[in-house]
Chains A and B, each alone.
Chain A
Amino acid sequence: MNHRDWQYLKPWLKQLRSVRLQIFIGLGLATATALFGIGLLSLSGWFITAAALYTAFDIYTPGAGIRFFAVTRTLSRYVERLINHDAVLKLQARWRVALFKRLQGRSLASLAPLRVADGVQYLTRNLDAMDNLLLRLMAPVLVFVLSSCLLILFWGIYIPSAAIALAIAALLVLFVSVRMAKQTRALAMQQLQSTQRLRRQSMAFTESATELLAWGAYKTHRQALLKQAQRQEQLDDKQLAMQHKTLWLVEIFSHSVFLLAVILSGFAFETGMISSAEMIMLVLSALAWQEIAAELPSQWGGYGKTVAAAKHLLANEASVQKPVKSHSSESLKKAISLTLDNISVKRGKRVLIRPVSAQFKPGYVHWLNGPSGLGKSSLAEAIMGWLPCFTGKITLSQGADVDNHISFLTQRTEVLDGSIRENLNLSHQPMGDEELWAVLQLVELDNVVRALPESLNTLVGARGVMLSGGQLRRLVLARVLLQGRPIILLDEPFAGLERQLAKRMLENIVAAYKDKTWIIISHLGPNELDNPKIPQGETIVLKPF
């Protein structure tokens, strides 16, 4: 294992410490299982040879030994597998929490790619690949080394030269396995990229299939897709070929050890160093060792994928933010104004809007209007500090910070799997039901929620009741209002709502929350909403650059 791999794997291995006793017992039992297997075969060989040659011996001890090995091998294997898998699951749970915490530490801007389902799947899949670390990478090598060492010692008692041969073979097995692991690592990166490319290409293909067919381009694109699939298959095949070749080398080594054991113990028998039964015992233990050696290359084929997964998961660590200090509730009650000074925003390489300057004052409702697709949401993200401003400066009065003083309704309606109550109070603050009902009434959802079978406890989200898009929009708006921060930034709050309802709702909430600084980003302005009765602040019409 080279230094770089160690860097990637170290943070994961560190977590092993928390379950070290369990792992210690598990690996001990795994080694015992391997040794019992060797013991069963070699003791049986010894027993039969001794019996056939009428060597004088106490027949009951080996008989009991054989029965003991037969039963304990099964038992230790069963217990070992339970313990080790339990340890892996515990580790996995820990890694999952650690990964989640790490992602939370990231700046919101860098989280954007995660919103795509693909990114989430990718993360979970990589996390699953880490399962291999203990069971497929660490356990086989430890079991192999331990049981080989014990067998070498055992052979050393009888025939030192055979023990040396076994030691050399064991080292060779380790060497070719490690070499293969290194090769798979380079390959795994290629495989990962190739799979991703295939996924992208295949999804683009099915998405555009109607157009491809109409244009008569289906055939050529189909061929290109199958070609990419073939490239990926070839990489997989290459990895398997590598693994099989290594397995073959290991088999050759272990069969050579077996042949050497036959010859060396044959000589030792002829010179009277060992008895006939002992010779058979040694030869058969060489046969049994083969099985343990063959495990190594078959399990280590996944090394590359595990390292690649570890690397990718760690890549998320790059942009960790300092945790945000929460402010005392005192500062949240203050009225705070927000100033935009000559702000323009870039997305990618494109400047989106002409520079804007404005002052947003407490107690007033301000509008940022413009047609869809202009970059209004980018401006909102710039205000939140998720997107750097191309030009200009954003300041909050009284030195307040953005993270604690702006409530932000994102353009995308994010509803979590959970009850309405949980969705209104995500951080589990102490909050009475009256407070929730009051806000629901402001957004005219109280009657809807009351009519639901379990009222506030009704599940919403992917597996809950189907609320309409407009109802969900009002639910998340209620959540923003409950935060009670001095500045309220709403990105398209009226999506999916009738204009009459939007107008009423806006009048209700502005009247209920005094001294808030309201900023509404929308393609609708106060005129389209039939001039609601609210303290009107500035209306700014955004223009494309």
Chain B
Amino acid sequence: MNADFASASAYLKQLAAYVKRPIQWAFLLGLLKTVAVIVQLSFLALLAERLFVGEYSLWSQPMLLIGLSLTSLLRATLPQIQQQFLRRATLLASQQARQKLADDWQRKLLAGKPLAAADGSLQLEPIESLKGYFSRYLVQQYLVVTSPLLILLVCFYLNPVVGALLLISGPIIPVFMALVGMGAERLSQKHAQQTFALSRVFTDKLRNLTTLKLFGAGTAAVNDVAAAGEDYRKATMSTLRIAFLSSAVLEFFSSVAIAGVALYVGFGLLGYIDWLGADQLTLFTGLFVLLLAPEYFAPLRQFAQSYHDRAAAVGAATLLCELNKDSLTAEESSGTSDDLRKDTHLYAWNNLSVTFGSSGANKQLKFPDSEIARGELCVITGDSGSGKTTLVKVLLGQLPFQGQLSQPVESTHQIAYFAQQPFLTAGSLRANLNIFEHHSDAQIFEALAQVRLDKLLATLPEGLGTKLSEHGVGLSGGEQRRLALARCLLSQRAVIIADEPTENLDEVSAEAIRKCLQSYAHDGNTVIVASHDPLLIKRATQLIKVSA
């Protein structure tokens, strides 16, 4: 838990380094605003003194009126400019966070750890939750010290008693809030559980609405939802009572401090008290310190709010860091990529092995030394769990290995990969075929004919424009696999690497796929297939047997 917190904080600091400049500007503008406020209020107090005590007329003070107008304009405008810098900082920081996330994903993949679709949502809510840290917390954490300090200095200069009063009530507030906050933390954990419980009940009922309807269980379910809502309300209210208490404490102290300043100044002016400079108070100093008192508390109040932003950001950063932690523990490939090839050999390896698990109790998979030449239909075979897919991953460069392996130079754009569960997106057939590379419709028709999907295509009124639902729904498993094969054929890449292409398929589809792979190899390309399909093994020109 502590380590998570530390890495999350480090992550946030790392991002904050990118936005140093705009944050500095925002801080400077925040300070300037405080100065503008101090000057504005001093002009107002001075005007009152001139009018009431000096008995000048209003028009005899044009400089004061102009000064008041100018400082008012600054007071209204400076925060606007400050917000522009903060917005820029937020944009920069979230952009960095997104790029970092994409890089981490890549690192994780290369370490042999696949991603799930759900990982994709990290680009949404967690990044969103980071924003408050940059748009509010970062600059507030400096302003919460400097702005009250400036005001405090002015107050001390004007009247030490007022200064002392503010100085005492200032730091007391965080102490009280911390005390109340500790209780709130425990409660908010309970609250988080309740929130989860509520959403679980609600989600459970929504997801199974079909069943509930089929069994006429509507009323019972509504009662459950209502009861869960009531529990949630009670739990939330007990959390809120504490949370509001902490802000009430803050408000109470600021109200009392303002009232205390007013009463002290008032009684001092009336001559009821005369200690510690109370007898030297004038209307100017009295009014001025009274006006400054609320401004003294304003940054404290804002900081209390932005503290929640920080908590949210740390929570999100923990999620984002988890990914990092995973990939860092993965071992780097210790194998070498020496060139073992005799001219036509595309792939060759010696003493190739892969180690699973952390050092200590680890399991090692060894692969027999092999060379794969151009034009081969090479089938990697073995019992289930023997490491066929593992070898495929190594050849794809997505798993660290030990030993020597030589691959085609510039392998990135030479491999067409045929995954066991080919990725199909919600979109047209055409879009699905063009995911990795773009091809013309004429080429696509030709490839679909090769994989025997032309008949199906003819029955579709919208042809290549036919929309598939997510995960290829609308096509049978065999059709999906053949579509993915068409993708490989279209690419005309030198190597096809396929993982169990005929597993769980109807015979028509399986045979179509076997034939295509065979003829692709026959055309002088290399086809490497992990499979235990006996009919495919029969057609292999090279066989690599792996065993655990």
Contact = CB atoms under 8 A, between A and B. Distances in A.
Contacts of A415: 208
Given A202-B124, A371-B506, A426-B220, A210 B114 contact: yes
A225 to B, nearest CB: 7
Interface residues of A, number: 129
Interface in B83-99: 83-84, 87, 90-91, 94-95, 98-99
A215 B416 contact: yes
A347 B201 CA distance: 32
A483 B467 contact: no
A34 to B, nearest CB: 13
B458 interface: no
B252 interface: yes
Which of B99, B105, B204, B255 counts the most chain A CB atoms within 10 A?
B255
Given A44-B290, A47-B266, A51-B269, A259 B69 contact: yes
A210 B419 contact: yes
Nearest to A57: B270
20 contacts: A45-B290, A52-B286, A54-B270, A59-B272, A67-B263, A70-B256, A74-B251, A81-B244, A92-B229, A100-B206, A104-B212, A202-B122, A204-B120, A206-B117, A214-B397, A216-B415, A276-B48, A373-B475, A374-B476, A414-B211
B53 to A, nearest CB: 7
B216 A427 contact: yes
B52 interface: yes
Interface in B184-238: 199-222, 225-226, 229-230, 232-233, 236-237
A70 B255 contact: yes
Contacts of A115: 207, 210
B187 to A, nearest CB: 14
A461 B491 CA distance: 45
Contacts of B105: 206, 209
A171 interface: no
B241 interface: yes
Nearest to B224: A418
B474 A209 contact: no
Given A117-B207, A202-B121, A414-B210, A41 B215 contact: no
A313 B470 CA distance: 23
A311 interface: no
B413 interface: yes
Interface stretch (A1-9, A239-247, A493-501): A239-247
A541 interface: no
A350 B106 contact: no
B534 interface: no
B168 interface: no
B225 A97 contact: yes
Contacts of A28: none
Most chain B Cβ neighbours within 10 Å, of A54, A78, A225 = A78
A338 B486 CA distance: 44
Interface of A: 40-41, 44-45, 47-54, 59, 62-63, 66-67, 69-71, 73-75, 77-78, 81-82, 85-86, 89-90, 92-93, 96-97, 100-101, 103-104, 108, 111, 114-117, 120-121, 123-124, 195, 198-218, 222, 225-226, 229-230, 233, 237, 240-241, 244-245, 247-248, 251-252, 255, 258-259, 262-263, 266-267, 269-270, 276, 279-280, 283-284, 287, 324, 326, 347-351, 371-374, 407-408, 410, 414-417, 426-428, 461-463, 476, 479, 483, 545
Contacts of B241: 82
Tell me the dominant secondary structure on chain A's binding face: helix
A513 B265 CA distance: 92
Contacts of A100: 202, 205-206, 221-222, 225
B87 A241 contact: yes
Contacts of A78: 244-245, 248
Contacts of A82: 237, 240-241, 244
A280 B284 CA distance: 12
B398 interface: yes
A101 B226 CA distance: 11
Contacts of B236: 85, 89
Contact of B232 (A40, A89, A350): A89
Most-contacted residue by chain A among B116, B123, B222, B282 (CB, 10 A): B123
A101 B91 contact: no
Interface stretch (B21-29, B74-82, B340-348): B74-82
B259 A203 contact: no
Given A71-B255, A85-B240, A214-B415, A48 B290 contact: yes
A59 B270 contact: yes
B117 A203 contact: yes
A211 B259 contact: no
B358 interface: no
Interface in B446-487: 459-462, 466-467, 469-470, 474-479
